[in-house]
Amino acid sequence: MIKVGVFGASGRVGKLIIDDLKSTEGMELSAVYVRRELDFAIDPSVLVTSDLDSLLNASDVIIDFSLPEACEKLLEAALQNPKPLVIGTTGLNTHQLNLLKEASQKMPVLYATNMSLGVALLNKLVYQASQALADFDIEIVEMHHRHKKDAPSGTALTLAESAAKGRELNLDDVRISGRDGNIGERTKDEIAVMALRGGDIVGRHTVGFYNDGEFIELNHTATSRNTFSKGAIRAAAWLVQQKEGLYSISDCLGL
């Protein structure tokens, strides 16, 4: 039995992971981290703790869907007490990403801004389209629910990276995050990544390739957060068998 610890257990995705683990063969929930007390019922055999070392010690693998500052604390604790880590938290800053890379030298770490199979494939398609459609303008739009804290979404940024890579561009040099006022014409290489927020939208990403006379739009819509929770559980089952290193969801899916 693979023992899974959940960090961010009371969140939208965390709660689904706890639920989905109940019907996952060969895996069980061993521990959840809470800051205060848990606000929902849980099997009494599960360790409920506000101590990161206890969470790490009780688990074969940790799944994290929290917030960047919280993920940073988890990474710092894991550097002292290594354990396979599936990180789904988005909006990590440069320091937090560096911590994640440092951790991956000591333990297997899978970092994915989107755990769904569809988006993993979309990234491949975007890379190919960006290469093949060299003259087309690339624009990305993402839509999420009103509670989402980071913008643009981690998924949109990863898609933008795939697009930039297809053209051998550095995303930091070409990314635009808004247009307003008399800003002049679009430049050839720029890639806009625009974020819309509202209602209960789980996640919608459109990568458009626009040219004179035609355009292609590649779209992915998540209709349920279970695509993320189930994807993260699948990633955890795969990660416990890997040696230290930094992995992507494509590695796990063999894409």
Q: How far apart are CA 141 and CA 210, in angstroms?
A: 13
Q: Judged by CB under 6 A, does residue 90 bind ligand NAD?
A: yes
Q: Judged by CB under 6 A, does residue 51 bind ligand NAD?
A: no
Given 59, 66, 123, 158, the residue binding ligand NAD (CB under 6 A)? 66
Q: How far apart are CA 87 and CA 37, in angstroms?
A: 23
Nearest 5°: the CA angle 88, 91, 94 is 110
Q: How far apart are CA 54 and CA 59, in angstroms?
A: 9
Q: How far apart are CA 205 and CA 188, in angstroms?
A: 22
Contacts of range 218-223, beta carbons closer than 8 Å, 24 or more positions apart = 218/122, 218/125, 218/126, 218/129, 220/116, 220/118, 220/119, 220/122, 222/116, 222/118
- Identify which of residues 8 and 166 has a Cβ nearer to ligand NAD in the complex: 8
Nearest approach, Cβ of residue 22 and ligand NAD (Å): 18
Kindly write out the interface string for residues 141-160 of this chain, putting x where it contacts ligand NAD by CB under 6 A and - elsewhere. ---------x----------
Tell me, by CB under 6 A, how many residues bind ligand NAD.
23
Using the contact rule CB under 6 A, the part of the chain among 39-47, 65-73, 124-132, 163-171 near ligand NAD is 65-73
Identity of the residue numbered 241: Q
- Identify which of residues 60 and 150 has a Cβ nearer to ligand NAD in the complex: 150
Given 23, 35, 188, 198, the residue binding ligand NAD (CB under 6 A)? 35
Q: Judged by CB under 6 A, does residue 115 bind ligand NAD?
A: yes
Using the contact rule CB under 6 A, the part of the chain among 96-104, 111-119, 179-187, 213-221 near ligand NAD is 111-119
Residues acting as catalytic residues? 144, 148
Q: Which helix (H) or strand (E) holds 47?
A: strand 47-49
